[in-house]
Amino acid sequence: MSLLTKERETLVQYGKKLIDTGLTVGTGGNISIFDRESGYMAITPSGLEYHQLDPKDIVIMDLDGNVVEGNWKPSSEYHMHTLVYKNREDVNAMVHTHALYSTTISALNTELPAIDYLVAHSGGKNVRCAKYAPFGTLELAENALEAMEGRNAVLLANHGINVVGTTMKNAFDITEQLEFCARIYWQAKSIGEPVILSDEEMDNMVDRFKSYGQPKEQ
């Protein structure tokens, strides 16, 4: 184990957090980090339990889908990750989960609208839903990339949600916020018709989130 040591450790840490926070179940979902300096991606392996993962279990790949280092098969969804890193220079990490409420909305094959201002964490007024395609296919990866244009997140029809960020912490935090919004939407729809925030308000929220939080250390 010699490549992307820090990235491997981070994926093990956040894989456990996916389970502990209820953002996925079993071995569902996958997470990755892309190192632009080396051109290599660290990604979780296929079918292994997150709490049993060790840094050596993480798979290192190039963006052409070749395994560079690792003893396990990479996640079957590696196409979704490599395609994003090839096309989004602003992205260095990705979280794909089967989060309960986000997946519920995706089963309707509809967007997650601006039920709450926190939807602006997606980078826009909504979270679009990508067209359905079987898991692990290039078609699914292409559908997801297209629907995520100008956004940090996309629902996958009848499947789950993808979230990207500058770091794994960033992507994970956005995933938590959007899952919260999906739950609010589900609950509001169950008792009535929710009021959706205007496009103008959401544009304002997106701008405000760009400077939200503490200044980054130099």
User: How far apart are alpha carbons 79 and 106 in whole angstroms?
Assistant: 20
* pLDDT tens for each residue of the chain, 218 residues long: 579 999 999 999 999 999 999 999 999 999 999 999 999 999 999 999 999 999 999 999 999 999 999 999 999 999 999 999 999 999 999 999 999 999 999 999 999 999 999 999 999 999 999 999 999 999 999 999 999 999 999 999 999 999 999 999 999 999 999 999 999 999 999 999 999 999 999 999 999 988 765 555 54
Sign, CA torsion 106/89/38/216: negative
Residue 77 among the catalytic residues: yes
> Would you kindly state where each structural domain of the chain is located, as residue ranges?
5-209
Question: Has domain 5-209 been given CATH number 3.40.225.10?
Answer: yes
Q: How many CB atoms lie within 10 A of CB 37?
A: 5
* SS3 state of residue 193: coil
Catalytic residue among 7, 77, 111, 179: 77
Pair of tokens at residue 69: 């280092």
